[in-house]
């Protein structure tokens, strides 16, 4: 919601960028604990049951959000979603994807993120059209009440899609065989020690962290279009959907290429693209009057970002993580890798609020470029550590 409609979202809820970032931060704090606990949970219980419960609970949160609650309730909602989308959902999603992918991990994870991206792009585009249709023809004349009702309708639609997704998961995702789940707490602790002793897991954690910093920056594309280029709310939301549409192309393409070459090689290329695109924004090279340049930069940077997202969990096999320990490894990698959920929201809000206009966004993308460099280094180290390991992907 906030990625597509951030300017409207902030106005309707009557909050600042920093307050929204703080809500994201609470989500991140709870998510960190949930990643660590949710990994072993995914190794012990059927992924299908966990996924369905997560989707239904997330939908209930959306029903509350559609009432446009005060900032305190909104912040608690993000904390609640930290439990539903991570503790119950995340480890189960990654583990069942790896099980279904067999030896084609690159294309499987690329299809996962590309499929999610395609659906998100469709939802984003449709939601912008519906939002515009619910407002007067002259968007600038819309009252606060009209904008609030339009936004609430969009939120209700997203909540309904969560319910539909739960039904589809129940019908089409096979239950996990009991032989593929861990027996008890002692085995879970043994697996945790095994996973944490692997250098590739820690390199992968840093890779995910740097990639996720870049991903969080996509939350600000619509606001960047408004603040730096003077676009109205619908135009700014439309610019943001460009990023959504790059996701399926980049994720699936990177996944297919990763199976032909290697996941780490494609990660290197993706980090380089993110570094160049975000560096161009940070340097102020994207100027008003050249809309094609803005679109090209957002599209290119997004391609690198979503290439990373399509691959950073596809390299468990390259890192020699046992299949039965996938949930635990996901927990460890995610615990470190998704810490931007804690700090990027407040950091972006503070940078943008402290330097109004284009300058604040340039500072944000300067941070992104710096993390892309660190990601490049971590990927090189991952490749070296992987080559030093005996054997191949244990299944």
| Shared-domain flag, residues 189 and 207 | yes
Q: What pLDDT sits at residue 393?
A: 44
- Domain around 92: 1-175
Q: Which of 158, 175, 192 is the last residue of a domain?
A: 175
Alpha-carbon distances, residue 252 vs 175, 243, 347 (angstroms): 26, 15, 31
| Shared-domain flag, residues 188 and 286 | yes
Asked whether the beta carbons of 288 and 363 are under 8 A apart, the reply is no
Q: Which whole number is the average pLDDT over 116-125?
A: 82
Contacts 24+ apart (CB under 8 A), 66-71: 66/152, 66/155, 66/156, 66/159, 67/152, 68/12, 68/13, 68/148, 68/151, 68/152, 71/13, 71/14, 71/15, 71/19, 71/23
Q: Which of 109, 143, 175 is the last residue of a domain?
A: 175
* pLDDT at residue 185 tops 80: no
* pLDDT at residue 318 tops 80: yes
* pLDDT at residue 366 tops 90: yes
| Shared-domain flag, residues 170 and 305 | no
Q: What pLDDT sits at residue 392?
A: 44
Q: Which whole number is the average pLDDT over 298-320?
A: 90
Asked whether the beta carbons of 40 and 191 are under 8 A apart, the reply is yes
Q: What is the pLDDT of residues 47-102, one digit of tens each?
A: 889 999 999 999 999 999 999 999 999 999 999 999 999 999 988 898 888 888 77
- Our count of domains for the chain comes to 2
Q: What is the mean pLDDT of the chain?
A: 86
CATH of the domain at 78: 1.20.1250.20
Considering only CA atoms, which of 177, 175, 158, 178 is closest in space to residue 55? 158
Non-local (6+) Cβ contacts of 199 within 8 A are 385
Asked whether the beta carbons of 1 and 154 are under 8 A apart, the reply is yes
Report which of residues 67 and 236 the model is more confident about.
67
Q: Which residue has the tokens 């950073």?
A: 312
Asked whether the beta carbons of 86 and 33 are under 8 A apart, the reply is no
Structural domain contains residue 290: yes
Structural domain contains residue 304: yes
Structural domain contains residue 394: no
| Shared-domain flag, residues 128 and 212 | no
| Shared-domain flag, residues 121 and 257 | no
Structural domain contains residue 392: no
Asked whether the beta carbons of 54 and 162 are under 8 A apart, the reply is no
* pLDDT at residue 127 tops 60: yes
Report which of residues 4 and 339 the model is more confident about.
339
Report which of residues 139 and 53 the model is more confident about.
53
Structural domain contains residue 189: yes
């Amino acid at each position: 919601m906030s990625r597509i409609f951030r300017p409207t979202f902030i106005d309707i809820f009557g909050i600042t960028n920093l307050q929204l970032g703080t809500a994201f931060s609470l989500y991140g704090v709870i998510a960190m604990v949930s990643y660590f606990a949710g990994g072993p949970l995914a190794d012990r219980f059927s992924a299908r049951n966990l996924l369905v419960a997560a989707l239904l609970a997330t939908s209930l949160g959306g029903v509350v959000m559609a009432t446009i609650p005060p900032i305190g309730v909104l912040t608690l909602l993000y904390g609640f979603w930290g439990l539903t989308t991570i503790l119950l959902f995340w480890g189960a999603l990654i583990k069942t994807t790896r099980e279904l992918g067999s030896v084609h991990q690159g294309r499987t994870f690329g299809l996962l993120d590309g499929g999610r991206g395609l659906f998100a792009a469709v939802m984003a585009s449709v939601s912008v059209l519906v939002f515009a249709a619910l407002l007067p023809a002259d968007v600038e004349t819309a009252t606060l009440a009209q904008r609030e009702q339009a936004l609430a309708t969009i939120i209700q639609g997203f909540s309904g899609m969560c319910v539909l997704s739960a039904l589809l998961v129940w019908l089409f995702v096979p239950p996990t065989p009991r032989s593929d789940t861990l027996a008890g707490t002692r085995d879970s602790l043994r697996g945790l020690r095994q996973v944490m002793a692997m250098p590739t897991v820690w390199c992968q954690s840093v890779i995910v962290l740097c990639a996720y910093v870049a991903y969080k920056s996509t939350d600000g594309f619509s606001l960047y279009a408004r603040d730096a280029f003077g676009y109205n709310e619908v135009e700014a939301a439309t610019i943001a959907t460009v990023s959504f549409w790059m996701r399926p192309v980049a994720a699936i393409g990177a996944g297919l290429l990763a199976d032909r070459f290697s996941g780490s090689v494609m990660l290197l290329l993706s980090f380089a693209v993110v570094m160049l695109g975000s560096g161009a924004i940070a340097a102020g090279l994207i100027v008003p009057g050249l809309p094609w340049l803005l679109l090209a930069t957002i599209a290119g940077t997004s391609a690198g970002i979503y290439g990373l997202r399509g691959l950073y969990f596809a390299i468990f096999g390259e890192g020699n993580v046992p299949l039965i320990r996938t949930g635990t490894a996901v927990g460890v990698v995610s615990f470190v890798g998704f810490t931007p959920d804690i700090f990027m929201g407040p950091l972006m809000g503070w940078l943008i609020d402290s330097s109004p206009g284009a300058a604040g966004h340039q500072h944000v993308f300067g941070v992104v470029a710096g993390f892309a460099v660190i990601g490049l280094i971590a990927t090189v180290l991952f490749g070296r550590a992987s080559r030093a390991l005996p054997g191949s992907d244990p299944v």
